[in-house]
Structure 1
Amino acid sequence: MTSTDPPYEPYRHPPEGRPDVDEDRRSGPTIEQLVTPVDGHDGHDGHDGHDGGDGGESKLVLVLSALLSAVVLGGALAAPLVAKVAGYAEEPVDLSGVQTYDITDRNHSVDDLGYPQMPPAGGAHAPVWLECGVYDEPVREENAVHDLEHGTVWITYDPALPEREVDALAEQLPDNGIMSPYEGLPSAVMVTVWGAQLALERAGDPRLALFVEEYGDGHTAPEFGASCHGGTPDPTGAVTEPGLGA
Structure 2
Amino acid sequence: MNGLHEPTEYELRRQKKEEQREAQRKKLRSHKVKYWIVAALLIVGVAGLAALGLWFIAHRVVPEGPDDSVSYPIQGTEHIAEGSSHPPYNSNPPSSGWHYANPALVGFYDVSEKQPTDEQIIHDLEHGDIWIAYHTRIPEAARGDLKQFDSGKVIITPREANDTDIALVAWGRVDAFNLEGGVLDTQRIENFIKRYTNRGPERVGNDPHKDD
TM range (shorter): 0.5 to 0.7
Larger radius of gyration: 1
- Equivalent pair of 2:128/2:203 in contact (CA under 8 Å): yes
Structure 1 residue aligned with 2:203: 224
Asked if residue 185 in structure 1 is aligned to residue 162 in structure 2, the reply is: yes
Q: What is the TM-score of this pair, normalised by structure 2? A: 0.59
Structure with more helix by fraction: 2
- Equivalent pair of 1:153/1:174 in contact (CA under 8 Å): no
Return the alpha-carbon distance in structure 1 between the equivalents of residues 94 and 171 of structure 2.
Answer: 9
Aligned identity (percent) is 26
Q: Give structure 1 stretches of 5+ with no counterpart.
A: 1-91, 234-246
Aligned length: 138
Return the alpha-carbon distance in structure 2 between the equivalents of residues 143 and 112 of structure 1.
Answer: 14
Q: What is the TM-score of this pair, normalised by structure 1? A: 0.52
Asked if residue 159 in structure 1 is aligned to residue 128 in structure 2, the reply is: no
SS in 1 for 2:163: coil
Asked if residue 211 in structure 1 is aligned to residue 188 in structure 2, the reply is: no
| Structure 1 pair 194–164 and aligned structure 2 pair: CA distance change class (3 A) | same
Structure 1 residue aligned with 2:19: none
| Structure 1 pair 160–222 and aligned structure 2 pair: CA distance change class (3 A) | same
1:105 to 53, 76, 85: 76
SS in 1 for 2:105: coil
- Equivalent pair of 1:174/1:212 in contact (CA under 8 Å): no
Q: Give structure 2 stretches of 5+ with no counterpart.
A: 1-63
Return the alpha-carbon distance in structure 2 between the equivalents of residues 212 and 166 of structure 1.
Answer: 17
2:109 to 135, 155, 163: 135
* Residue type at the aligned position of 2:185: G
* Residue type at the aligned position of 2:208: H
Return the alpha-carbon distance in structure 2 between the equivalents of residues 145 and 173 of structure 1.
Answer: 18
Extract structure 1 runs of 4+ deviating beyond 3 A: none
Cα deviation for residue 205 of structure 1 reads 4.5
- Equivalent pair of 2:133/2:166 in contact (CA under 8 Å): yes
Highest RCO, 1 vs 2 (Cα 8 Å, sep ≥ 6): 2
| Structure 1 pair 227–115 and aligned structure 2 pair: CA distance change class (3 A) | farther
Structure 2 residue aligned with 1:16: none
